Amino acid sequence: MEKYMEVLRALREDRDLTQQQIAEVLGTSQTMYARYERRANELPIRHLITLCRFYGVSADDVLGLRRKRR
């Protein structure tokens, strides 16, 4: 299972966005966002929600949660 910050980093890089640009979306510093990407700090749920809305993806996709079909 891919780690959620790896997914968020890939989304950022696929769109050619900098950590600074994402930090501004979240209302935090580039240094703090870099700590999230390195997993030195946990990403607050409010930031996860903001990033899911920003990227147009579901939290299930970011977190690797998928229901198995019966």
**Contact predicate 19/30, CB 8 Å:** yes
pLDDT, residue 1, reads 40
At 8, the pLDDT band (50, 70, 90 cuts) reads: very high
Q: Which token pair is 58?
A: 């579901």
Write the pLDDT tens digit of every residue in 44-64.
Answer: 999 999 999 999 999 999 998
4-14 and 45-55 helices, crossing angle to 10°: 40
Domains of the chain: 4-56 (1.10.260.40)
Q: Could you give the CA distance from residue 52 to residue 62 in angstroms, rounded to a whole number?
A: 8
